[in-house]
Amino acid sequence: MPLLVIGLNHTTAPVSIRERLTFGPDIIVAALRSLTEIPGIHEAVILSTCNRTEVYCHADDDADEWTRDWLARFHGLSVEDIAPYLYLHEGRHVIGHLLSVASGLDSLVLGEPQILGQVKNAFQTASDAGRTGKILTRLFQHSFTTAKQVRTDTAIGDSPVSVAFAAVSLARQIFADLSQQTALLIGAGETIELAARHLVQNGIGRIIVANRTIARAQELALQFDAFAIALTEIPSHLAEADIVIASTASPMPILGKGTVESALKRRRHQPMFMVDIAVPRDIEAEVSNLEDVYLYTVDDLVEVIQDNLRSRQEAAEQAQEIIEFQVDEFLAWMRSLDAVGLIQDYRKQAGEIRDEVLARAIRMIESGKPADEALNFLAKTLTNKLLHTPSTRLREAGSNGQHELLEAANALFQLGHGKSGND
């Protein structure tokens, strides 16, 4: 089956590798165009989040090497740099993988709902760029339906577990009373909104929202009685923050070591708790070397998250059963495409034979032949031409002992041959 996915995720690669293979919104359309310009790659969707980068393709056989080489080359890396961290799925396994991803079964946080929106956005971007066709469109639409069924029919999303929840849970372990703390949230996307909601539920004293677009920061701040600032204002307000949670799509760090050092001096070295959920990272890795700073990346949240997952394990098993069934459903549709093409070709061939014989019959009438003679010619000739090739092939099958072909023809034409017991 000409389906493949090549990628890496939080289980196969550390954040230092994942951040080198991300596709930001500013480059993803160009990347899709570059990928589909490779001969043999017909459709493509790129899914790029903080926890994974995956390239889905409908392509010719043996396209896995082309796709892998392209992934490395596009990011200015060698294949050897990324090969140890990559996984490859083909055919049926592509379908199962995507359905698992969309349903939250392959996420760092089991059953987290945000990934479905990310998968939808990835597909929509590829579709708007004209890089999807019948196969990937049907596959991704199928994944959306399956994810909805998993969410509806299982308890996979009942527990409040997410990366944002894990970050706030970790903050509570460090600060016993959040009512006396100020949180600086960098970004204004879904993860930051979730973090703000969890902070408010846990009694946070004050929230500052920093974003590139100040209007979006203000919109989010209104929901949580927070204070909105632009990213450029962070150095002036960082010293106020006891908790920093960052999640933007910036290709470069937002917070550098020098900025944090200055803030610590103004805080008289009161500790700062930082969680960098972004990939690529929003906070320079060197910040972790500073005293009085507790810096965690998305990978460091695994242990916290695992403690909150046990209630979802049974639901995940139920979800897997749904996914296996839906994989079979999609495969059945894929197999039907072969029949559709065959039927179309057969109808085309029959139509050409009909038009040829009909034209000859019309010419007979025009030349003065009786109509009944022309009709008799039309009926006999059309029948003979339509049956010639199948009849010849069946005789050959009989001579060669190809009983399966004979049985298939018997079923196809519903002849009932052999049922009387006299054959």
Residues belonging to the active site: 50
Rounded distance, CA 124 to CA 309, Å?
31
* CA-closest candidate to residue 299, choices 153, 108, 145, 168: 108
* CA-closest candidate to residue 126, choices 30, 39, 3: 30
Q: For the chain, how far is it from start to end, CA to CA, in angstroms?
A: 40
Rg, Å, the chain Cα set: 31
Rounded distance, CA 57 to CA 41, Å?
7
Nearest-10 Cα torsion for 274, 278, 280, 286: 0
For β-strands 293-297 and 272-276, DSSP reports them as: parallel
- If you count them, how many residues does the chain have? 423
Which tokens sit at 387?
A: 């049956």
Rounded distance, CA 218 to CA 188, Å?
9
Residue 111 Cα distances to 141, 142, 185, angstroms: 19, 18, 24
